[in-house]
Amino acid sequence: MTYRKLIFTGPVGAGKTTAIASISDQPPVRTDAAASDLTALRKSATTVALDYGVLHLPDGGKLHLYGTPGQERFDFMWDILTEGGIGLILLIDNDRADPLHDLRRFLHRFQSFIAATGLALGVTCMDLRAHPSLESYHRELVQLGFRAPVLEVDARRRTDVSLLIQALLLHLDPGLSVEGGKV
């Protein structure tokens, strides 16, 4: 049985809560960091609301989906939260004032987690603003020494969120799809 977690991060309003709700098998809860693998958090004096969802896997196991709390005063938690995570889904809201700056900030913050696992970047709200382009995001990533799938995502669409997660997994392991033909 599998109990692993996938981390969603990004600035406030980027679509973390919505994305987790789109993909989760059970109605997402705003947990007070009470999930079993977050005991370290429970010990801390602060309780912080986290987005939490779950994906039930074919072997009976679960993939936990966590969204990082928005306010940066809680960013001490991010390291605890990411421990044991399989990878990072970074959502950037294209309609914010300086989305490339947001990108740099989050890449910097999660640098070591990304290095240890991997990253997929979803750019949301491109229906509201088309620029910067996906190409600009990718250029920025490469300049900072990262390589990752970059996709346009509407957090409200399950298929978009699902594809972004699949892109992350395949990016981490391109050999993944070689299994009994069906991919």
Is 82 an interacting residue with respect to ligand GDP (CB under 6 A)? no
Residue 175 binds which of Mg ion, other proteins, ligand GDP, none (CB < 5-8 A, kind-dependent): other proteins
Binding residue for ligand GDP, selected from 52, 124, 140, 150, defined by CB under 6 A = 124
Note whether 87 and 120 are within 8 A (CB): yes
Bridging pattern class, strands 119-124 and 85-93: parallel
**Binding letters toward other proteins, positions 97-136, x by CB under 8 A:** ---------------------------------x---xx-
Name the residue among 157, 35, 19 with its Cα closest to residue 89: 19
Among 1, 45, 128, 183, binds ligand GDP (CB under 6 A): 128
CA 32 to chain centre: 19
Question: For residues 122 and 103, is the Cβ–Cβ distance under 8 A?
Answer: no
- Spatial distance between the Cα atoms of 53 and 136, rounded to a whole number of angstroms: 31
Which of the ranges 15-23, 24-32, 102-110, 167-175 carries the binding residues for ligand GDP, by CB under 6 A? 15-23
Listed in sequence order, the residues at least 6 apart from 74 whose beta carbon sits closer than 8 Å to its beta carbon are: 46, 48
Query: Residues 137 to 176: which contact ligand GDP by CB under 6 A?
Result: 154-156
**Which among 50, 112, 116 has a CA at the least distance from the CA of 86?**
116
> Is 150 one of the binding residues for other proteins (CB under 8 A)?
yes
CB of 30 to ligand GDP, least distance (A): 10
Note the residues at the interface with ligand GDP (CB under 6 A).
10, 12-18, 70, 124-125, 127-128, 154-156
